[in-house]
Amino acid sequence: MDILIGVFLVAGLFFFTVGVVGLLRLPDVFCRLHATTKCDTLGAGLILFALVLDHGFALESVKLLLIILFIWLANPTAAHVIARSSYNRKVPMAEGSFELDYTKEGSA
């Protein structure tokens, strides 16, 4: 069981590290948001699940599972709100990016 817990912890730390690298290296708010949201959700889920395995069947495990559920719901929702706000404020995209906006005149 300790090996499985270790694997979940290392995998969670890996995804957090990838998210930080994406935050530092990617060119604009939309790319950064995508990288950090995906990696933080998965990283936190894996680390908290490792804690669930460590505690076994207990009240703390139920609480940790509820926290995982909340993160899975809140993190993508917050990312959507931030991306939509950035788009509405016309935050510039990275050079070489293309925009698919079907709300403009003359779009298909």
Give the per-residue pLDDT at 59.
93
- Here the tokens at position 4 are 């499985």
CB 2 within 8 A of CB 56: no
Domain boundaries, the chain: 2-88
Q: How many helices (H) and strands (E) does the chain have?
A: 3, 0
Tens-place pLDDT, residues 64-104:
999 999 999 999 999 999 989 988 898 888 887 776 666 66
- Here the tokens at position 50 are 């490792």
Look at residue 108 and tell me whether its pLDDT is greater than 80: no
How far is residue 14's CA from residue 67's CA, in Å, rounded to a whole number? 20
Supply the pTM of this predicted model.
Answer: 0.80
- Here the tokens at position 34 are 């995508």
Give the per-residue pLDDT at 30.
87
Q: Which phi and psi angles does 16 have, rounded to 5°?
A: -65, -40
Q: Which phi and psi angles does 83 have, rounded to 5°?
A: -65, -40
Task: Please compute the mean of the pLDDT values over residues 6-24 and round it to a whole number.
Answer: 94
CB 12 within 8 A of CB 46: yes
Q: Which phi and psi angles does 56 have, rounded to 5°?
A: 75, -155
